[in-house]
Copies of this chain bind each other. A is one copy, B any other.
Amino acid sequence: MAELGIGLIGTGFMGKTHALAWRGARAVMGGDLPEARLELLCDTPRDKADTMARQFGFARATDDWRALVRDPRVDVVSITTPNGLHHEMACAALKAGKHVWCEKPMALTLAEAEEMAEVARAAGTMTMVGYNYIRNPAFRHAQKLIAEGRIGRVVHVRGWVDEDYQADPDLPWTWRARLAEAGLGALGDLGCHLVSLMVGLCGPIQSLVADAQIIHETRPLPDGTGRGAIENEDTATALLRFASGAHGSLSTSRSAWGRKNKLDWEVHGTKGMICFAQERMNELQIYLNEGPKAEQGFRTVLSSPDHPPFGAFVPAPGHQLGFGDLKTIEAAELMAAIRDGVQAYPSMQDALGFERVIHAIADSARRDCARITL
């Protein structure tokens, strides 16, 4: 396969990162990847689509996503629209025989996500859900160290994912506060990323008990007519038990002042510990019970070409990767999957597992911390 025709739906935060990733993936990761032909871009209104197609370098533009998913010159569809639209778009693209790169969370409800995974299975094309943080070379190195037994048996794990975009009590009410339109709150926006990391480090979660909280119960309506209710959670915290026997916990907040992209975890093993903080995404903290006690300490390991695929971006250690680079790796892995006909990770089936966890957390919280088995 010499080239792939790319169709992109959406040009916001994620839409732009997809566009840049498609532009960069092959140049970064190597010429044995197919060439990404930027074929068709969809946004509304049409003139915005035209403008962004010019900026991003797409050959054509449309305001009709249905046309895009059916377009014969489009091989892969990037879906970066609001979460409530993913389900319909992805199913349509899959049914049209397209490969799909869909942003997370897959859908507003678990039922929709399950249907998407089923449609993907039936379609047999390649799918990828946008869990970009698991692409980080630092994260992959942590996985490698764990797999090699460097920290012994993993016994405990903790994770946190916080931002502050809903911390200000004076922010106006928006549709994002409604369960029916936006689905989960912090769990859907942030929590599912953390689940992807924790599962990547410790394997599947077997059961959990969780609590959640709405901090700002109402917010001023934008039209000044009063206050609207906030229906989805600002924070959620869960006690986790993993299939491996490890225990752990996770916590998320969208109202945590000062946290811009906190997505941190620590894995406790019987021989050592590994910690990570996303706001310093090019660093891994590693403690090993090795060597003289007087010299033991957490090591700040800077990402480097010793942590693939870092070296594909820069051959020099300490010259950092950025957020966008994670999306470039993601695109490249989907391209390789399509080239090889071998499903990449996480497919929609894989990602469904992450999304089951966030819905289980919400469910447990709704039922006063009842134990939910996954």
Residues on A lying within 8 angstroms of B by beta carbon are 12-13, 16-17, 19-20, 23-24, 26-28, 30-31, 35, 51-52, 54-57, 141, 145, 151-152, 155-156, 158, 160, 163, 167-169, 209-211, 213, 215-216, 235, 237, 239, 241, 247-249, 251, 253, 255-262, 268-273, 278-282, 284, 286-289, 292-302, 304, 306-307, 313-325, 368-369, 371
Contacts and interface: CB of A to CB of B under 8 A. Distances in A.
Contact of A28 (B20, B216, B256, B268): B20
Contacts of A294: 141, 301, 304, 306-307
Contacts of A292: 306
Contact of A371 (B241, B272, B369): B369
Contact of A239 (B210, B315, B316): B210
A289 B257 contact: yes
A282 to B, nearest CB: 8
Contacts of A287: 257-258
B318 A279 contact: yes
A290 to B, nearest CB: 8
B13 A27 contact: no
15 contacts: A13-B316, A20-B27, A163-B316, A163-B318, A210-B239, A211-B247, A239-B239, A239-B369, A261-B318, A261-B320, A262-B318, A293-B304, A293-B306, A294-B304, A322-B323
Number of copies: 4
B304 A295 contact: no
Contact of A237 (B239, B257, B293): B239
B289 A297 contact: no
A317 B260 contact: yes
A155 B256 CA distance: 9
A272 B260 contact: no
Contact of A156 (B52, B215, B272): B215
A260 B304 contact: yes
B371 A368 contact: yes
Contact of A268 (B55, B256, B320): B256
Nearest to A250: B249
B269 A257 contact: yes
Contact of A297 (B57, B258, B314, B316): B258
Contact of A298 (B16, B155, B241, B299): B299
